[in-house]
Amino acid sequence: MISLQKFFGKTDVFYDLLEASAEEARLSVQALTTLLSQSANDRSLETFILSRRKDKQITEKIDEALCRTFVSDLEREDVEALANAIYKIPKTVEKIAERIIIAPDRVQGVNFSKHLKMMQEAADTVIIIVQELRKKLHLEKVKDHNAKLQFIEGEADKLMLEMLGDLYSGKHECVSVIYLKDLYDLMEKVYDRCRDAGNVVSHIVLKYS
């Protein structure tokens, strides 16, 4: 059966826009890794601000397309839900970067390598699972990718408990405990946002399977 979209010779812009948004999410995590590798004097929010602006423009284009596009493989509410879930990833990452720049001394000596690795893996998986939408909804593949996001989030929760245990051990200053607790909470939200995006894609695929 030939879709109306193909009949009129149009391509579904939502795939391009959602994938572009997911790419901005991944770039924001890469920028955070770079930020933490730099000295305090060299750190800047410029990359994060530009990325968020670009992602906001993508989200605005999605909103415009929702108003103007009458033929799409995806339903309006599904596009909105996925766009919102993806947009929250770089927004949350930028908040982490803000905290690091505000009080660089508080993160000195703290090892974030495990968190950064898992965040990067989660962001990479978000791109892959979003790309599956364009491939006409392969349910089993989407389930596998979503399961990976759920696993990463579970491992992040374990790491979070480990780091909180260290925070509450009594060997840290009160200000550092408050500061790092806030930072860890934001990092946990990044995993949650990635998981949310995966859940939305799974919901869409399940709906049309």
Q: What is the pLDDT along the chain (209 residues), one digit of tens a residue?
A: 334 344 333 447 889 999 999 999 999 999 999 999 999 899 999 999 888 889 989 999 998 888 886 556 788 899 999 999 999 999 999 999 999 999 999 998 899 999 999 999 999 999 999 998 887 657 888 999 999 999 999 999 999 999 999 999 988 899 999 999 999 999 999 999 999 999 999 998 888 77
Handedness of CA 181, 187, 193, 195 (dihedral sign): negative
Q: How far apart are CA 112 and CA 7, in angstroms?
A: 51
Angle between helices 174-208 and 113-134 (to 10 degrees): 20
Q: Is the Cα dihedral 82, 86, 87, 91 positive or negative?
A: positive
Predicted TM-score (pTM) of the model is: 0.87
CB-neighbour burial class of residue 10 (10 A; exposed 0-12, middle 13-18, buried 19+): middle
Residues in CB range of 181: below 8 A, 6 or more apart: 164, 167
Longest dimension (CA), the chain: 68
Backbone angles phi, psi at 161, to 5 degrees: -65, -40
76-102 and 113-134 helices cross at what angle (nearest 10)?
160
The CATH code of the domain at 9-208 is 1.20.58.220
3-state secondary structure of 71: coil
Q: Which two tokens stand for residue 85?
A: 């879930």
CA distance 84 to 161: 28
> Residue 132 to residues 17, 19, 49, 135: CA-CA distances in angstroms?
14, 10, 29, 5
Residue 13, pLDDT score? 87
Q: What are the domain boundaries of the chain?
A: 9-208
